[in-house]
Structure 1
Amino acid sequence: SQGASPYRSGFGVDTTMISGFLDDFQSSLPWETLITSSEMDSLLQSELRIRGIRTAPKWAIVENGYLNSLISDAFATDKVSYNFVLAESFFGPTRQLLMYFPSGKFYLASRVYLNLFVTLFFSTVILFAFFSVQRQGRKQKRLAVVKSDFISNMSHEFKTPLATISLAVDALLRNGDKMNAAQMQQYLGIIKSENKRMNAQMESVLQMSMMDKEELTLTLAPMDIEACLREAVNHFKLSAEQRQGWIDLSCEVGDYEMEGDLIQFKSALTNLIDNAIKYSLDAPQVSVKLAQSVDEFRIMVKDRGIGMDEDTKRQVFDRFYRATKG
C-alpha cells in the first residue's frame, strides 16, 4: 500500500554503497510492476552478503516521494538510517531505497567482540609461546651450567677414594714392617674397597646416562642392610680419623633382610656418608644409626657439617646439582 509521507528531502546521507546492482530496474515504469517484494528482499540480502553484511535489513522503495508496495514486513519509517537515491530529475529524487538494520548494533557488536576475542586468543597463544621459549631457554642454560659443573665435580668425586687409597698406602710404606698380618690385611682391604668404590662411581655415571634414556633396570635380590651399612661406614673411618674425627655406627637388633639393588643402595649410602664427612668444617663427627619399625627401615646419619640453605634444599634432588659452597 502507498504511504502519504513525502520523501523528497531524503533521509540520512546519500551513498553509492549499492550503486549499480539495480541497474536492470532503471526504468520509468513503477518498480512494483517489474519486481515483487520477495524478489527485492532476496536481491538486497544477496548483494549485502557479497559485501560481507550478514544481517537482514528492513527496506522500502520510495517513488516520487511516496512509499509504494515494494516494502519489507514491519518497516518503520522513523528508524530509517540509509537513503539511497536511485534516480533523480531536475526537481529532486524520483526513486529512493530506504533502509535500516533492526539488529545492526548487535551485529556490529558481535563482529567487534568476535574480532576482539580472536585477537586476544592469538595474543595469548603468542605470549604463552614466548614465555614457554623463554622458560625453556632458561632451563636449557641452567642445565648446561649444571652439566658443566657435574663434569668438573666428577674429578672431585674421585678424590675421596684416591685420598683414602693414598693414606692406606702411606701407612703401609711407613709402618708396614711393624704391622702384623691382620693390620696389613685391613689396609689392603681398604685399598681394594676404595678401588671398587671408584668403579662404582663410573658405573653410576653410566647408569645416569641409562636413566636419561629410560633404559636403567634395577637388579633386585635379597640383601642385608646392616652388612651394607657396616661396609659403608668402614670405608670412611680412615678418612674421618685422618682429619682427627670419628664415625660410629649403632644398629638396633632386628632382621634387616630386604629385596633391593645392592649396587644402587651402596651408592646412595656412600654418597650420604661421604657428604657428612666432606662438608664438616672441623674434625668430622658422624653418627650413623640403623633402626627398624613395623613397616620400614630407618637409616639416620647425623653430622655437624655446614648444612643446607633453603635454595639448596629446593634443588637437592635435581640431576647434577651441587651446592656452590660445596
Structure 2
Amino acid sequence: MKKRSLWLITGLMTIALLGVFVMQLYYIREAYNLKSQLFEQDVNQALNSVVNKVQKRTAALYINKRDKQLERDREADVRNQAELLVEFKEHFKDQEQKRLLEQRKLIVADLNQNDLEIKKSYRDPILITEAEYLAASDLNNPLKSPIHLDVNVRLDAYGNFLGEQRKSIFIPQETNSFIIASNQLPDTIRYHALNPVTEKSVLISVPTVSDELARKFQLENNLAKRKYEDGMARLMSDTIPLKSESDIFSQVKDVAQEMREANVPLSKMISKESLDTLIQKELLNRNITLNYDFWVSLAEKDSLVYIKAVNNINNALPKNTFKATLYNYVIRDPGMLYISFPDKNSLILSNMWATMASSAALLFVLIFIFAYTIYAIMKQKKISEMKTDFINNMTHEFKTPVATIMIASEALKDPEIVEDKARISRLAGIIYDENVRLGNHIERVLSIARLEKKELKLEENEVNLNDVIAAVVDSMGLQLQKRNAIVNLNLNAENSTIYGDELHLSNVIYNLVDNANKYSGEIPKINISTRNTAKNLIIEISDEGIGMTKDQTKRIFDQFYRVPTGNLHDVKGFGLGLNYVQDIVNQMGGTIKVHSEKDKGTVFEISLALNHN
C-alpha cells in the first residue's frame, strides 16, 4: 500500500470518527437539555401545587375561623333576640316621645307666632274657651253672650248731651283661663279682640296645627310607623337558615376580601415546617429526591420571611432556582416562594448514565477499532516491507552458495582439473560446505514456519548449559578468529543443568553470539556469563558493539526485522534469528530481555527454570 493511500484512509477514518464523536456530544447535550426541561417542568408543577394547597389551606383556616365566629354570632343572636325586641320597642317609644315633643314644640312655636300676629293686628286680644266662643257666636241668645256693649254718654256742665262712646267688653264665663303651653291643646285656638278701627268685637279662630305642620307630622308619623313595622318584621324573622349556594359564595367572597385586607404577617399564615412538608411531598410525587433550599420573601420588598437552606444563600439568586407567587393578593404583599437545587446536575446526569455509558462505550469501541485498524495497516505495511527485505536477503543468501556450487561444478568439468586429485578434493569440499550452508538456511526458514504453526516439538532432556555454551563458542572459533573477536566466558553457575532441547538451545546461543560478533566494531568484545538465582539459571551475552535505540529494542524480536547498520558493516541475514530465539525460550518456559544503548553495546539476558516443570 502506498504511503499516500495510507494517509488518505487514515484521514477519512479520522474525519468519520470525529463526526461520530460530535454527533454523540450533540445527542448527549440534547438529552441533557430535554432532561433539564422535564426537571424544570416537574419542579414548576410541584411549586404550583404547593402554592394551590397553601392558598386552599389558608382559605380553609379563614373559613373555619369565620364559621366559628358566625356560630358565636348566631348563638348571641338567639340569646339576645328577645332583648333586642324589647330594646327596639323601648327605643321606638323613646323616639316617638321625642318626636311628639318636637312636634308640640313646633306647634307651640307656630301658635306663639300667630299670637304675636293677632296682637299686632287687633286690640286687646284675649284667649277664650270653646264654650265662650260658641256662646258669643250664638246670636239667638244675646243675653248669654259673654260680649257686652258698654256705652259711655258725655254731658256738659249744664247736662247737655255731648256724645257717646260705645265699647265691647268680653266677660269670661269661667274663672280658669286657657293656657297655651298645656300638653293638651284643642283643635282650634279662639280669640276675642277689638277691631282697632271700628272698636267692635271680633271672634278669631286659629287652628292649633296648621295644614303645613299637619302634613309634615303625618309624614313623620307614617315614616316612624313604617320603620317600626319593618324593624319588628326583621327582628321577628331573624332566624338562622341553612346556607344556600349564594350565601356560601358570598361568604367566600367575604373571606377573600378579609384575607386580602387582613394585616397578618406571612410567617403567621403558614409555618416553615408545614411548607417544607408540602414541598417535600410534591417533589417525591414527581420522583425528585434531591436536597433543596427554599425561602419565602416579600414580593414588593427585599425582606426575607424565613429560610431553610442546606448551603449558604448569598444575596444573588443561586443557579437552578425556581420561584412562584405564594398568594393571589392585590392590595397586600402576596409573598414569593423560592426553591433551589444545588445538586440538579447530579440528578440529571444520574438519570442519563445509561445514555452516557452507551455513548462512551460506542466511542471507545470506535476508537479502538480505528486505532487497531491503523495499527494493523501499519504493521502489515512494515511486515510487507520486512518480507520484501527478507526475500531480497534470502535470494542473496541462496544465490551465493548456488553460485559457488555452480562455479565448482564447472571447474570439475575441466579435463586438467580432473587429473589433479587435490583440486578435485578441494572443489568437492567447497560444494559440500555450500550445500550444508544452503541446507542450514532452508532449515532455519522451515523452523520458523514450524514455530509459527506450533508444529515444532521440543525434546526435554537434561542439558548442561555451561557445556553447551563452551561447545558453541568452540564451534564458532573460525568465525570469531576471522574478526579477531575476544570472547570472555564467566560460567559461574554452580547448577547449570536444566530440562530442554539441546539442539535448539545450541542454536539460541549460536544466534546470540553470532549477532554480537556481526554487530560489533573492528575487534568484537563478547562476554558470556551464567549464574544462579533461587529458581532460575541466568545466561547473559553482552557486547560492546553498535547498540540500539529504545525503539529498536522494542522491535528486534519481530519477524524479518533487522537493525539498520548504515555503511559500517555488510551484515547479512534474514531477520529471523532473534524471533527464533524468543520463540524457543518461551516454549521452554523461560524469558529473554534486552538492554542496549546506542554505540555502547547490547546485553541479552535469558532466564530458564531449573526444575523440570
User: TM-score, structure 2 length as denominator?
Assistant: 0.33
**Which residue in the other structure is 1:25 paired with?**
56
* Alpha-carbon offset, residue 84 of structure 1: 1.9
* Alpha-carbon offset, residue 206 of structure 1: 1.4
Unaligned runs of 5+ in 1: 1-14, 63-75, 238-244
Q: Residue 165 of structure 1 contacts residue 190 of structure 1 at CA under 8 Å; is this kept in 2?
A: no
* Alpha-carbon offset, residue 170 of structure 1: 1.8
- CA deviations on 1:180-210 (whole Å, 9 max, x unpaired) are 3753553243134223313322223314524
In structure 2, C-alpha distance between the alignment counterparts of 1:53 and 1:302, rounded to whole Å: 72
Q: Is 1:43 matched up with 2:278?
A: yes
| Match runs of 1:5-84 below 5 Å | 18-20=47-49, 22=52, 25=56, 28-30=59-61, 41-49=276-284, 50=286, 52=288, 54-56=290-292, 77=305, 79=307, 82=323, 84=325
Change (3 A) 1:179 1:246: farther
Which of 426, 429, 449 is residue 206 of structure 1 equivalent to? 449
- CA deviations on 1:203-225 (whole Å, 9 max, x unpaired) are 233145247xxx87643443734
**Which residue in the other structure is 1:150 paired with?**
386
* Alpha-carbon offset, residue 316 of structure 1: 4.6
Which of 553, 566, 569 is residue 314 of structure 1 equivalent to? 553
Q: Residue 164 of structure 1 contacts residue 194 of structure 1 at CA under 8 Å; is this kept in 2?
A: yes
Q: Residue 251 of structure 1 contacts residue 291 of structure 1 at CA under 8 Å; is this kept in 2?
A: yes
In structure 1, C-alpha distance between the alignment counterparts of 2:488 and 2:421, rounded to whole Å: 34
Which of 184, 187, 195 is residue 430 of structure 2 equivalent to? 187
Which of 196, 199, 212 is residue 439 of structure 2 equivalent to? 196
Change (3 A) 1:79 1:267: closer
* Alpha-carbon offset, residue 319 of structure 1: 0.9
Q: Residue 85 of structure 1 contacts residue 97 of structure 1 at CA under 8 Å; is this kept in 2?
A: yes
Unaligned runs of 5+ in 2: 1-43, 66-269, 299-303, 309-316, 318-322, 533-537, 572-613
Secondary structure in 2 matching 1:170 = helix
| Match runs of 1:1-326 below 5 Å | 18-20=47-49, 22=52, 25=56, 28-30=59-61, 41-49=276-284, 50=286, 52=288, 54-56=290-292, 77=305, 79=307, 82=323, 84-88=325-329, 91=331, 96=334, 99-100=337-338, 104=340, 107-108=341-342, 110-112=343-345, 135-155=371-391, 156-174=393-411, 177=418, 178-180=420-422, 183-184=426-427, 186-210=429-453, 218-221=458-461, 222=463, 224-229=468-473, 231=475, 246-247=482-483, 260-261=500-501, 262-263=503-504, 265-266=506-507, 269-270=510-511, 273=514, 307=546, 310=549, 313-320=552-559, 321-323=561-563
Structure of greater relative contact order (alpha carbons < 8 Å, 6+ residues apart): 1
Change (3 A) 1:271 1:188: farther
- CA deviations on 1:278-325 (whole Å, 9 max, x unpaired) are x89xxx97768686666676667788xxx4663664345241323455
Q: Say what the alpha-carbon RMSD is for the aligned residues.
A: 5.6
Q: Residue 252 of structure 1 contacts residue 290 of structure 1 at CA under 8 Å; is this kept in 2?
A: yes
Q: Residue 45 of structure 1 contacts residue 56 of structure 1 at CA under 8 Å; is this kept in 2?
A: no
Secondary structure in 1 matching 2:377 = helix
* Alpha-carbon offset, residue 45 of structure 1: 1.4
Change (3 A) 1:301 1:247: farther
Change (3 A) 1:200 1:248: farther
> Structure 2 counterpart of 1:150, which letter?
M
Change (3 A) 1:179 1:129: farther
> Structure 1 counterpart of 2:56, which letter?
F
Q: Which entry has the higher C-alpha Rg, 1 or 2?
A: 2
Change (3 A) 1:186 1:198: same
> Structure 2 counterpart of 1:45, which letter?
Q
- How many equivalent residue pairs? 273
Secondary structure in 2 matching 1:19 = helix
Q: Residue 248 of structure 1 contacts residue 286 of structure 1 at CA under 8 Å; is this kept in 2?
A: yes
- CA deviations on 1:104-128 (whole Å, 9 max, x unpaired) are 4xx42x4457879999x97998987
Change (3 A) 1:148 1:258: farther
Change (3 A) 1:186 1:195: same
Change (3 A) 1:29 1:300: closer
Change (3 A) 1:111 1:168: same
Change (3 A) 1:61 1:143: closer
Q: Residue 59 of structure 1 contacts residue 100 of structure 1 at CA under 8 Å; is this kept in 2?
A: yes
Q: Residue 529 of structure 2 contacts residue 540 of structure 2 at CA under 8 Å; is this kept in 1?
A: yes
Q: Residue 232 of structure 1 contacts residue 266 of structure 1 at CA under 8 Å; is this kept in 2?
A: no
Q: Residue 526 of structure 2 contacts residue 541 of structure 2 at CA under 8 Å; is this kept in 1?
A: yes
In structure 2, C-alpha distance between the alignment counterparts of 1:86 and 1:170, rounded to whole Å: 115
In structure 2, C-alpha distance between the alignment counterparts of 1:263 and 1:32, rounded to whole Å: 105
> Structure 1 counterpart of 2:430, which letter?
Y
- CA deviations on 1:158-189 (whole Å, 9 max, x unpaired) are 53244124314423532663353753553243
In structure 2, C-alpha distance between the alignment counterparts of 1:313 and 1:206, rounded to whole Å: 24
Change (3 A) 1:168 1:322: same
Secondary structure in 1 matching 2:48 = coil
In structure 2, C-alpha distance between the alignment counterparts of 1:59 and 1:254, rounded to whole Å: 86
> Structure 1 counterpart of 2:327, which letter?
L
